[in-house]
């Protein structure tokens, strides 16, 4: 399944211009249908999973540091 840039931006909860910057940066690929971009849903799901994992790891590290300093 493929999504338009508007649909993909809504899926990732980012703006469409930010999504286009992410495509240019190589975060995921797209294909052109005429002048319109299409992005694979699997690519978006993989990207979101990667971002979620990084966020979870960062929260765990912050919590650990807070506990070591007695702030938590």
Give the pLDDT confidence score for residue 62 in this predicted structure: 94
Kindly tell me if the per-residue pLDDT of 72 is higher than 80: no
Q: What is the pLDDT of residues 20-66, one digit of tens each?
A: 999 999 998 999 999 999 999 999 999 999 999 999 999 999 999 99
Q: What is the number of structural domains in the chain?
A: 1
Starting from the edge strand earliest in sequence, which strands make up the sheet with 31-33, in order?
A: 2-4, 36-40, 31-33
Q: What are phi and psi of 2, to 5 degrees?
A: -120, 150
Name the band, by pLDDT with cuts 50, 70 and 90, for residue 70.
confident
Which residues span the domain enclosing 62? 2-68
Residue 2's beta-bridge partner residues? 40
């Amino acid at each position: 399944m493929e999504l338009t840039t508007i649909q993909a931006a809504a899926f990732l909860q980012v703006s469409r211009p930010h999504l286009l910057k992410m495509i240019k940066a190589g975060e995921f690929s797209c294909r052109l249908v005429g002048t319109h971009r299409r992005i694979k849903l699997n690519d978006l799901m993989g990207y979101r999973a990667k971002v979620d994992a990084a966020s979870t790891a960062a929260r765990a590290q912050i919590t650990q540091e807070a506990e070591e300093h007695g702030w938590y």
